[in-house]
Amino acid sequence: MIGDKLRLAQILMNLVSNALKFTKDGQVEINVKLNKVEGKLYYLDFLIKDNGIGIAVADQNKIFEKFVQVGRRDEDYQGTGLGLSIVKRLLGLFGSTITLDSDLGKGTAFSFTIAFEHDLAKTKSIIDEIEVDLTSSEIYKILVVEDNLINQLVTKKIIEKNNYSCKVVDDGFSALKILENETFDLILMDINMPLMNGFETTKRIRFLGIETPIVALTAFDKDEITDEAISSGMNDIIIKPFEPVKLFKIINFLINEKNAV
């Protein structure tokens, strides 16, 4: 199958992570089956199903909005509520939509269909044309400041796949602490974090005289935060879910710009 495995992995990790949060004593299933074949397109049906606490009908239309959480008690996991919003946007890039079926006390099922191309000749051609650039000996050190575990895993995997070194911290205070002893070539900074948000963290980093380029990672629309990002001392903004190629273009540009000074 030919398709974007990183996007698919991010969709599945977010949905499974969400299911696990709502299913303390039960099970989570991932089912995939072939729906139909049209020429070289194979339509796969995905079902992520749990028998957890379920989602009330009144809340079912809200859960794909940014920063919305439902049905959580105070002692439960507290995240930013971005996972399902990102899933919806990623599925849109696949030309797909997501369906929710849930009953309180019985569980929740998310389903979607993605068409993948099946073409052995094209697969061989793609593999043969992969270019590996071994000319650069630079291994940049990247610090990721992000409170969402799934986003941490995805971002770290993307960065390390490009032969960069990566460290991850959960919040702004941890970022300030690690910067006392270590230097980095670039910082990727989540905006919507508990305890201290990305803007305030960036201000404190700049107050310490640290000039390392900082890129905002956010699910907000760029126009909403540009002014505050610039005034806090950030160098650029990249919107979640991001394209790895775009991320590395920004990283390389900012690091080279700083080194040229």
What percent of the chain shows pLDDT beyond 70? 88
Local confidence band at 131 (pLDDT 50, 70, 90 cut-offs):
low
Q: What is the pLDDT of residue 28?
A: 93
Q: What is the pLDDT of residue 130?
A: 58
- pLDDT greater than 50 at residue 74: no
Q: What is the pLDDT of residue 243?
A: 78
- On whether the CB atoms of residues 171 and 149 are closer than 8 A, the answer is no
- pLDDT greater than 60 at residue 135: no
- pLDDT greater than 70 at residue 75: no
- The Cα–Cα gap between 92 and 82 comes to 16
- Which of 41-45, 107-111, 125-129, 143-147 bottoms out in mean pLDDT, i.e. has the lowest? 125-129
- pLDDT greater than 90 at residue 259: no
DSSP of 60-123:
TTTTTSTT---S--TTS----S-HHHHHHHHHHHTT--EEEEEETTTEEEEEEEEEEE--HHHH
- On whether the CB atoms of residues 234 and 202 are closer than 8 A, the answer is yes
Q: What is the pLDDT of residue 166?
A: 93
Give the mean pLDDT of the chain. 83
Encode pLDDT of 16-51 as tens digits.
Answer: 888 888 888 889 999 999 999 999 999 999 999 999
- Determine the average pLDDT of the residues in 67-74: 46
- Residue 139 is given by DSSP the state -
Q: Give the strand pairing for 98-103 and 107-117.
A: antiparallel
- Determine the average pLDDT of the residues in 169-190: 94
Domains and CATH numbers, the chain: 5-123 (3.30.565.10), 141-260 (3.40.50.2300)
Local confidence band at 76 (pLDDT 50, 70, 90 cut-offs):
very low
Q: What is the pLDDT of residue 224?
A: 74
Encode pLDDT of 55-68 as tens digits.
Answer: 877 777 777 765 44
The residue ranking higher by pLDDT, 222 or 1, is: 1
- pLDDT greater than 50 at residue 79: no
- Which of 133-137, 220-224, 228-232 bottoms out in mean pLDDT, i.e. has the lowest? 133-137
DSSP of 208-228:
TT----EEEEESS-HHHHHHH
Local confidence band at 132 (pLDDT 50, 70, 90 cut-offs):
very low
Note the pTM of the prediction, 2 decimals: 0.62
